[in-house]
Chains A and B, each alone.
Chain A
Amino acid sequence: MSPNGYLMLSALLFAMGGFGLLKRRNPLVMLMCVELMLNAVNLTFVTFSRMLNDITGQVIVFFVLTVAAAEVVVGLAIIVAIARRRSGATADDISLLRG
């Protein structure tokens, strides 16, 4: 089994996520892009796990999923809090830390 296909898909997904994160200004979409990047990495882990016949990679995937879930909870909570104060805000509107 050649891992190249999986790895290329993973790289593609990661690039899409990264590009979306930088390009889009909707906080919800940005959060989804982060998820996309995380899952691209998960795909890589699983690919290498299968290829090297080592279960450790798949164990790490579960850790990543857990962290991702926690991150989504925090992220969504922040987005909801922002949306309550000012509806339709983009990520660029929230720039209070500008020097």
Chain B
Amino acid sequence: MNSPTRATMLLETPFHSRVADRCKINDWGNWMGYTTPNAYFDVELEYFSIRSTTGVFDLSPMNKYRIQGPDAEAYLNRMATRNISKIGINRVGYTVWCNDAGMVMDDGTIFRLGESDYRLCSYQRAIDWLLWCALGFDVTITDETEDLAALAVQGPTSCTSLTEMGLTDLNTLKPFGMRTYDFEGEKLMVSRTGFTGDLGYEVWVSPEKAETLWDQLFDAGKEYLIKPFGSYALDIARIETGFIQAGVDFVPAEEMVRPGRARSPFELGLSWLVDLEKPLFNGRTALLKEKAKGSRYRFAILNVDGNKPADHSFILKGDRQIGTVTSAAWCPTAKSNIAFAQLEMPEGSIGEEYVAEIYYQRELHWTRLLAPCKVIDGPIFNPKRRRQTPAIPH
């Protein structure tokens, strides 16, 4: 007798009826307990909707936490590595947060909704940690994950599609800015944020208005070739633009079992997010030490020869293994074969050349490919339209 498997029923997002209708190939995955499409109709075409027209991604499963109260700013400054005081009202900041050992637990975005009112969006469930962090601070923490539905609307015609839907003057919204609009008798919040590295927005409404939002958006975007995209297409876009992902490019520190497997922000190429001038934040003491002593690893973006994605490859320097690949994809727009690697210090300086040891299979036949690769300076895809304000109409 086999022992029964432990299965949990996956939840549906507020957009589910619309998503399911469009998910022609019926390829679903489990994203943090929600059933979400891996692909809707064709991964490459979905990807090209992000880069050429408008792509829509249901990001409702993202964990959303409201942080309010007189100590909200001090609380976030203690929790996150970057200086939260620099995030103005109606602005959004990307940050990571660490445990005491200075190891990254997760990354996410902080939306400043008011003077002492913030929303944190994280990939991982974080309520336990957020509540521990609240001891000694006058703040209230509310899990709003199920109270807010959200769509990422990304791509060169995204601004036009949304404007067409009624978000007047959206083109004046700056990157990492946010704004509210009246929508069907409620408030709709839109932020110029995203995970694709393109011009793009994230739109936030109550779950009750989710389907209406979807319908109106797809109507408005029809002329601009609006398409939904799934997590496979998103993965290509985020690799192309240099975004790391929790659970893929690093092990969330408090989930780590084996000592030494977690990574610090410095080791993930995120030193720009760490403000050691702040008097106190979780991990500061450890990060100061790391800064003095040197890190163990370096995050590197590699441009790999050929077109075989270097998934799970070893990186070799001569005969010596100096690192491993955490994410890899053939990136269609940049026409490059990109890999994120964790390299042992002091390896990984810009321009260094190594060999990626790639294994791939054709009809049960494994082939080993030694592909030369080179450390590049920053993401391969970083278009002007991502930053331009007013956003360029298409």
Genuine A/B complex = no
- Where the two chains meet, the residues of B that have a C-beta atom closer than 8 Å to any C-beta of A are none
- Where the two chains meet, the residues of A that have a C-beta atom closer than 8 Å to any C-beta of B are none
